A and B are shown apart, each in its own frame.
Chain A
């Protein structure tokens, strides 16, 4: 089931909230939440439950054993079992097809036949394995204790608002909330939750999906039937468009997830915080997919050594963490390159702290730093979204962008008014030049307008949130009744008029 469906908003969610409200004081409250969560997850394919239960039950059992044993060696073995089993499951589902396809391609010229094994990837497997793994690791580290009630544990792993695409919640943050008998949410929280869900739907269906449409159209222009190279500038549309698509898509999911959880009086962690205003990579990763970056920090980067030790060791740790972060996202060399690019940026900014230098120049310097870093992030998004065959045309198009103006000036050279020409000559020439510029770069002109439509408001809303160091929906508590109502109408009519109709899944479902 998808958040961006009428069935979810008007049937599933009210039913779940009502059911939980009725059962919350009984022993069946969490059982009810667990059952509806499993329905939410597996209503499309029942077999998705198999790897989910395998992970959840193994870690539930390991958690008990690690806690109960007095031997640290035995506890360590158990936690290693949990980590290996989880990663193996992830590897089988996520990487087998990619590995066998790649091997088959590489070894075929040598006459070695490698059968390609096609495995369907269950949604959310990357999320729930990481989440479940953190439970056993935290128990091993004695930072958390196991919960004996299997229903509570299952409801933690499968809690529907965050099951499919996070936020990746730690057991210590979520399990205690779920395990206790919770009161009904406050009126203020319900009110905020409704606003968050409405905003999330607007952000997903209007901004994310339409920006995705721009990306798809650029891809179409690079398709098999393409007769000409990708026109100058469209590579930028691809990168900017995808930057907006993936941000709005994922942030919208997280906002709807948080809003939905609030209705059950559960607080999920914030996953985004105006990331495109970050001035450098460290700040970016404190604002982008926060639940993953903190997970990687706590369970990978710090165990690897973190910031301790000589510089080269820290750089190694950064690179390894980001490479694995890339691999977590998907099977493919370009995901690894995306991770490597961000590892490289983290290292680069440690060596050359551009953001700190520019910060000396006040607001303008910070703005420049944010613009520079946004473009560096966009370069990464090209690796994330494109196929290997598309990388070349996209880059050629980006590199050719500066030639647009000289090209048009060369074509119109004969019409440039002479040194003694009067105002009239220029008044004729300049509109003609602009018209020519538009006609010669029609796709760029149209898609550029599309980008203004679907990206412009995103930056405005994020800027408003950024001023208070929150996300835009969090400003709800500062708004008066009329502002809230007007915004609700804007979101509602935005969805009615501009939402893309062929519902597209949230991008992170694929991970």
Chain B
């Protein structure tokens, strides 16, 4: 017997060593649970997959949050719902936008929801937000190839796999960075996971925005050619030809049916998916809200009606809601095409409007919602927020950064009078916006500059000079900074407007004359 056991003494020694190492790491160099997963690839010299990095950043930001309401789903929700605006309707309840991208698949959204609900124990409403322009729900997002869902299920919620999330797993990035890149000689240690503007933006903005990030579908922030984006190559065809092409390509958005092995019958994929989400919500005593992203008006045209059965989707959703008392449906709305960047994404200037739509709907459920939980941790904004014009991606309507005499600056893009910037400040303090410009003090374009916050005008203060640069100063109205808990959508206009006017471009627009090298928000 002793002899048999002696053959395994190395196993015992290795296990003891492993336990000692893990205990030491857990004690001396603990890392957050969000880092202790196998979600990121961290391969030698290979960039991460964008959506994987998005999920990682959302986990890092919100893994320990205690929200009352969470939203999961595809990118239409990530770009379309600003949490602080929704929260303004919720009587002190907190809202978290955990939507990422469609290639997570419905099992991926589910894993995000389940992890948040299990970790927080506070979620009382689960919002599944999706674009019906892609169907409800396409099989490709349920069991299609290359969906991230199985990975997320494994890494975020599988109790078996979480047994292997050892403390040392949290050091993976540090170790690979140092060995793979010779301690910074080949690549900067701790660099951003990927060099991608969408990723930079998301990383910078999701904590203050509660998970929202603006869309980056279109170069230079112009609205895309909607129909080309929806069905590439349709430009120039007649409606009849579009119908024929759609039929040939099988481009459909409808309510597919599939065999449900658990019920041994054919059912709609909508029922099958929502049953899972409803079961999850019920397990946590929560309500399920199924919310649709608005759909472009054109989807009602004859050309699109063939493949895009919006009425059918709407009916199926309503039926499901009618069958289940604890399910609420935010039905499809049709918005002008000009408010979309692609058919599934609201263009940035209209995402506030989309957020109000969600907020109003949830406010209507108020009687069904429990009071706010005490464990929520409100976002704490810094005293000073700098919008770095060289790198800050929380901007919309600006051209690419330029460099002159060692200074990086941006102009409004050609055709624009307005641009947007997003930030979150301390709502209790008076805020001043300081814009450092490279223009001469007597430049005509400076005369008509106005700053609007959700339609309220900021008061212009006397300009000052600092280090040879002209600083334009604006005092922000406190009712505007307080309205959404310090969350600001700043409209910068060179024609005195306080709101976003239009996405249409005007060749005579004066925006490009303005050269901004820095914007900052300070409490004077």
| In contact, A481 and B13 (Cβ under 8 angstroms) | yes
Closest CB of chain A to B183's CB: distance in Å? 12
Name the CB-closest residue of A to B37.
Answer: A501
Mask: chain A, 493-505; 1 = CB below 8 Å from B; 0 = not: 1001110111000
Residues of A within 8 A of B46 (CB): 213, 216-217
Mask: chain B, 146-181; 1 = CB below 8 Å from A; 0 = not: 000001000000001100101011011001100110
Residues of A within 8 A of B44 (CB): 210, 213-214, 450, 453-454
Q: Which of B3-18 contact A (CB under 8 A)?
A: 3-5, 7-11, 13-14, 17-18
| In contact, B176 and A191 (Cβ under 8 angstroms) | no
| In contact, A446 and B14 (Cβ under 8 angstroms) | no
Contacts A191-B7, A217-B46, A482-B13; A492 near B41 (Cβ below 8 A):
no
A485 contacts the other chain (CB 8 A): yes
B470 contacts the other chain (CB 8 A): no
**In the assembly, what is the distance between CA of A446 and CA of B18, in Å?**
32
Most B CB within 10 A of own CB, among A210, A454, A481, A486: A481
**In the assembly, what is the distance between CA of A489 and CA of B186, in Å?**
28
Residues of A within 8 A of B3 (CB): 187
A149 contacts the other chain (CB 8 A): no
Contacts A194-B11, A210-B44; A453 near B180 (Cβ below 8 A):
yes
Closest CB of chain B to A202's CB: distance in Å? 13
Contact check: which of B5, B151, B160, B168 meets A493 at CB < 8 Å? Answer: B168
**In the assembly, what is the distance between CA of A447 and CA of B186, in Å?**
10
Mask: chain B, 55-97; 1 = CB below 8 Å from A; 0 = not: 0000000000000000000000000000000000000000000
| In contact, B172 and A497 (Cβ under 8 angstroms) | yes
| In contact, B179 and A453 (Cβ under 8 angstroms) | yes
A449 contacts the other chain (CB 8 A): yes
Closest CB of chain A to B185's CB: distance in Å? 9
| In contact, A213 and B43 (Cβ under 8 angstroms) | yes
**In the assembly, what is the distance between CA of A498 and CA of B7, in Å?**
29
Residues of A within 8 A of B176 (CB): 497-498
Interface size on B, residues (CB 8 A): 37
Residues of A within 8 A of B363 (CB): none
Contacts A6-B160, A190-B7; A485 near B45 (Cβ below 8 A):
no
| In contact, A496 and B8 (Cβ under 8 angstroms) | no
Residues of B within 8 A of A493 (CB): 21, 168
Closest CB of chain B to A215's CB: distance in Å? 12
**In the assembly, what is the distance between CA of A390 and CA of B171, in Å?**
38
A188 contacts the other chain (CB 8 A): yes
Closest CB of chain A to B179's CB: distance in Å? 7
**In the assembly, what is the distance between CA of A500 and CA of B11, in Å?**
25
**In the assembly, what is the distance between CA of A413 and CA of B99, in Å?**
57
Residues of B within 8 A of A481 (CB): 9-10, 13
| In contact, B41 and A501 (Cβ under 8 angstroms) | yes
Name the CB-closest residue of B to A450.
Answer: B44
**In the assembly, what is the distance between CA of A498 and CA of B178, in Å?**
12
Contact check: which of B38, B45, B171 meets A217 at CB < 8 Å? Answer: B45
B40 contacts the other chain (CB 8 A): yes
B182 contacts the other chain (CB 8 A): yes
Residues of B within 8 A of A454 (CB): 44
Most A CB within 10 A of own CB, among B9, B45, B169: B45
| In contact, A449 and B182 (Cβ under 8 angstroms) | yes
| In contact, B161 and A187 (Cβ under 8 angstroms) | no
Closest CB of chain A to B193's CB: distance in Å? 13
**In the assembly, what is the distance between CA of A447 and CA of B46, in Å?**
11
A320 contacts the other chain (CB 8 A): no
B189 contacts the other chain (CB 8 A): no
Residues of B within 8 A of A210 (CB): 43-44
A488 contacts the other chain (CB 8 A): yes
Residues of B within 8 A of A447 (CB): 45
**In the assembly, what is the distance between CA of A502 and CA of B8, in Å?**
32
**In the assembly, what is the distance between CA of A500 and CA of B151, in Å?**
13
Contact check: which of A194, A217, A496 meets B169 at CB < 8 Å? Answer: A496
| In contact, B7 and A188 (Cβ under 8 angstroms) | yes
Residues of A within 8 A of B175 (CB): 497-498
**In the assembly, what is the distance between CA of A216 and CA of B43, in Å?**
12
Residues of A within 8 A of B21 (CB): 489, 493
Name the CB-closest residue of A to B185.
Answer: A449
Contacts A449-B182, A453-B180; A496 near B168 (Cβ below 8 A):
yes
B438 contacts the other chain (CB 8 A): no
Name the CB-closest residue of A to B164.
Answer: A6
B42 contacts the other chain (CB 8 A): yes
| In contact, B186 and A449 (Cβ under 8 angstroms) | yes
Contacts A191-B11, A496-B166, A497-B175; A502 near B41 (Cβ below 8 A):
yes
Closest CB of chain A to B272's CB: distance in Å? 21
Name the CB-closest residue of A to B160.
Answer: A6
Residues of B within 8 A of A188 (CB): 7
| In contact, B38 and A501 (Cβ under 8 angstroms) | yes
Name the CB-closest residue of A to B39.
Answer: A501
Contacts A453-B44, A496-B169, A497-B172; A484 near B182 (Cβ below 8 A):
no
Name the CB-closest residue of A to B166.
Answer: A496
Name the CB-closest residue of B to A442.
Answer: B186
Closest CB of chain A to B345's CB: distance in Å? 25
Q: Which of A201-219 contact B (CB under 8 A)?
A: 210, 213-214, 216-217
Residues of A within 8 A of B38 (CB): 501
Q: Which of B252-300 contact A (CB under 8 A)?
A: none
Closest CB of chain A to B483's CB: distance in Å? 43
Residues of B within 8 A of A486 (CB): 17
Closest CB of chain B to A212's CB: distance in Å? 10
Name the CB-closest residue of A to B154.
Answer: A6
| In contact, B11 and A450 (Cβ under 8 angstroms) | no
Contacts A191-B10, A194-B11, A496-B166; A489 near B18 (Cβ below 8 A):
yes
| In contact, B13 and A485 (Cβ under 8 angstroms) | yes
Closest CB of chain B to A345's CB: distance in Å? 32
| In contact, B45 and A489 (Cβ under 8 angstroms) | no
Contact check: which of A6, A449, A484, A497 meets B10 at CB < 8 Å? Answer: A484
Residues of B within 8 A of A187 (CB): 3-5, 7-8
| In contact, B43 and A446 (Cβ under 8 angstroms) | no
Name the CB-closest residue of A to B161.
Answer: A6
Name the CB-closest residue of B to A195.
Answer: B10
| In contact, A488 and B10 (Cβ under 8 angstroms) | yes
| In contact, A191 and B8 (Cβ under 8 angstroms) | yes
**In the assembly, what is the distance between CA of A446 and CA of B45, in Å?**
8
Mask: chain B, 15-45; 1 = CB below 8 Å from A; 0 = not: 0011001000000000000000011111111
Residues of B within 8 A of A485 (CB): 10-11, 13-14, 17
Closest CB of chain B to A356's CB: distance in Å? 40
**In the assembly, what is the distance between CA of A34 and CA of B299, in Å?**
55
Most B CB within 10 A of own CB, among A11, A445, A449, A501: A501
**In the assembly, what is the distance between CA of A489 and CA of B38, in Å?**
19
| In contact, A492 and B18 (Cβ under 8 angstroms) | yes
Name the CB-closest residue of A to B173.
Answer: A497
Most B CB within 10 A of own CB, among A445, A450, A482, A496: A496
* 22 A/B residue pairs, CB under 8 Å, sorted by A: A6-B160, A187-B3, A187-B4, A188-B7, A191-B7, A191-B10, A214-B44, A214-B45, A446-B186, A450-B45, A453-B179, A482-B13, A485-B11, A485-B14, A485-B17, A489-B17, A489-B18, A492-B14, A493-B21, A497-B168, A497-B176, A500-B41
New A-B contacts (18) at CB < 8 Å, excluding given A485-B17, A502-B41: A6-B160, A6-B164, A10-B160, A11-B160, A187-B8, A188-B7, A191-B10, A213-B45, A445-B186, A453-B180, A484-B13, A485-B10, A485-B13, A488-B14, A492-B18, A501-B38, A501-B39, A501-B42
What residues of chain A have their CB less than 8 Å away from a CB belonging to chain B? 6, 10-11, 187-188, 190-191, 194, 210, 213-214, 216-217, 445-447, 449-450, 453-454, 481-482, 484-486, 488-489, 492-493, 496-498, 500-502
- Nearest first, the 4 closest Cβ-Cβ pairs linking A and B are A484-B10, A485-B13, A187-B4, A488-B14
